[in-house]
Amino acid sequence: MQETIANRHTLRIVTVVLFVLLAVAGLLFSAYLFVISKSIYMYVLASAFLLLSGVSGFFNIFAAYWYYKAYFYPNYLNSIKRGLKPLEEFPTVAVAVPVYNENPRTVKRTLSKLMTLGYPKDRIRYYLLDDSNVQETIDELRSYSMEHGIVYLHRNNRRGYKGGALNDMLKVSKEKFIAVFDGDEYLTNKNFLIDLLPYFQDKKLSYVQTEKRSAKGTFFSDSVDLFNAFFFRFIQTARALHNTAIFAGSCGIVKRSALDEIGGFPEYVIEDTFFSFESDEKNFRSLYIPKVYALGRPLATFTALVKQQWRYNYGDTQFLQYITKKFRGKRRIKNVTALSSMDYIAHGFGLNYLSVILIVFTLVSVLIVFSAFMPATITINRLMNFDLNNITLVLELFGMIAFILSFFIPVVITKLYFNSVKKGLMIFLLNFALAFVRLKAAIAALLKLDPKPHWQKSHDSSKRSLMASLYNTMFEITFSSLLFALGYVSVFVSDNVAGGLWLVWYGALYALATIFLHKYG
């Protein structure tokens, strides 16, 4: 046992060191650009790279902090558990399942499993919140609900999205707690209510969130599951120590009285994040339990992942606007500490940071390649005769380290924690493939455009599927083609082989959006 704990602590230290080294290496490479600058134009580029490295370094240091803090969460949770008493009374619970044009077979499977929850049947009531606009789906779900004693609530509009559906349910429900599950989440542990409700002995607790994971599927869907697992495994646990664990919209329980005081669920695309912030603002506490009680349907296609990431980034951008207005308002926010504020801001910036920083780094890289900066001159001979007094060589070496670490960190961490190099590589590649999707979602949110991505449907024909993939990823493929062309010019016109390969590498990464869409649908 002690050896296992020691190994986990070692992994945390290794992870922290990698993130800190990446942050430092990026900043030192920016210093290298200043050292070799010889004109105002080059100093401007060096300054731009320094700014980007500073932002990137901040997030890398913050990530290191999250990873390390997460190590201490089990002790924190155990201290809470020791003070809990078994349930003496069974409070009433509403189990809510919001759906929108979900496959009826999937929804019925979810509901049938939820009805096996280990809890007194007279203290629990099930609600199916159906926003579907397909009549066959509506009829089938209504009929199933009537047969099984489920309260069926249908809306003809999607006002407020999922948050709006939950708020409409609150008008007719009287239960003291609301347990929320998505329509595709299959219950795997019947003790969900029995395990979690005792935590509400803390009168200031507004919600308890559990770990969300997807069922096993293909290599692609399993990689996507790990893509999301990092948030629940590390970020949620670290944030929970600050009382800022995010209510993730399902696989969690909310106390009705707290919800009433907050004013219901905020009616945004990602109502859960807004609700978490407002709960904190009202001086409620929250809790995250790193345990899986239900498995969602795997995201088997690239299109499904795009829709998910679009919704997340659209909502996160709305959230950034929301908390910015809060922080800049005349009324001081009393209960949100500086550390909590940092958590929320980092959460809002998260996907925006990943998308914008990658694209801007690429654009600055293009300008550097076609500037008077000399390409990398590190050779085996220079390394063999390494001289610490040669400041240019030292800083240049850090540039190479930063480049290598940016590629290897996702792979190394995935190997350390999830024992998979291939899935770590896929996670790295997905960040580039999704960069423009996230950026477009952020712009759509800023302009208050439709919160849904408009993608042309692919057909069975391979040729049609390829055309649809090219159409849906026209921004990515155009950007990639430009980088390939600039790479060619760099190599064969400017005789800058290193710079040309640098641009071709970036071009290939952005072209993955088209490749993944064509391959995975």
Coil, strand, or helix at residue 98?
Answer: strand
Residue at 476 is within a domain: no
Task: Output the tens digit of pLDDT for each of the chain's 521 residues.
Answer: 444 555 666 777 777 787 787 777 777 777 777 777 777 877 887 787 788 778 777 777 877 877 777 788 888 899 898 888 888 889 999 999 999 999 999 999 999 999 999 999 999 999 999 999 999 999 999 999 999 999 999 998 888 889 999 999 999 999 999 999 999 999 999 999 999 999 999 999 999 999 999 999 999 999 999 888 888 988 888 888 888 888 999 999 999 999 999 999 999 988 888 999 999 889 899 999 999 999 999 998 999 999 999 998 999 899 988 888 877 764 556 666 777 777 787 777 776 667 777 888 788 778 777 775 554 444 445 445 545 444 455 555 655 666 676 767 777 778 777 788 888 889 889 989 999 999 899 899 888 887 777 776 655 555 557 788 888 889 899 999 999 999 989 888 877 777 788 889 899 999 999 999 988 88
* Residue found under tokens 């770590």: 424
- Residue range of the domain that includes 247: 75-300
Calpha distance 272→254 (Å, rounded):
11
Does residue 67 lie in a domain region?
Answer: no
Give the pLDDT confidence score for residue 375 in this predicted structure: 47
Q: What is the pLDDT of residue 55?
A: 77
In a domain, 258, yes or no: yes
Please tell me the pTM assigned to this model: 0.85
Q: Helix, strand or coil for residue 223? A: helix
List the CATH number of the domain containing 211: 3.90.550.10
Please state, in angstroms and rounded to a whole number, the distance separating the CA atoms of residues 205 and 83: 14
Residue 403: burial class (beta carbons within 10 Å; 0-12, 13-18, 19+): middle
| Residue 60 belongs to a domain | no
Q: What is the mean pLDDT of the chain?
A: 84
| Residue 227 counted as domain residue | yes
C-alpha distances (whole Å) from 76 to each of 27, 98, 268 are 35, 33, 32
Give which of 403, 306, 404 is closest to 355, Cα–Cα. 306
8 Å CB contact between 71 and 12? yes
Q: Scanning the structure block, which residue is given the tokens 């490479």?
A: 29
What is the predicted pLDDT for the residue at 513? 93
Number of domains the chain contains:
1
Residue 263 backbone phi and psi in degrees, to 5: 105, 25
CB 434 within 8 A of CB 358: no
pLDDT for the residue numbered 2: 41
Please calculate the CA angle 477-475-59 and round it to the nearest 5 degrees. Answer: 100
Digit-coded pLDDT (tens) for 20-66: 877 777 777 777 777 777 778 778 877 877 887 787 777 778 778 77
- Measured CA to CA, the distance from residue 238 to residue 288 in angstroms comes to 10
Question: Is the Cβ–Cβ distance between 451 and 311 less than 8 Å?
Answer: yes
3-state secondary structure 123-141: HEEEEEEECCCCHHHHHHH
What distance in Å separates the CA atoms of residue 248 and residue 210, rounded to the nearest whole number? 8
- CB-based contact 333:283 (threshold 8 Å): no
Is 470 inside a domain boundary? no
pLDDT at 400: 62
Please report whether residue 380 resides in a domain.
no
Cβ 274 vs Cβ 266: under 8 Å: yes
The angle formed by the CA atoms of residues 131, 348 and 212, to the nearest 5 degrees, is: 55
In a domain, 242, yes or no: yes
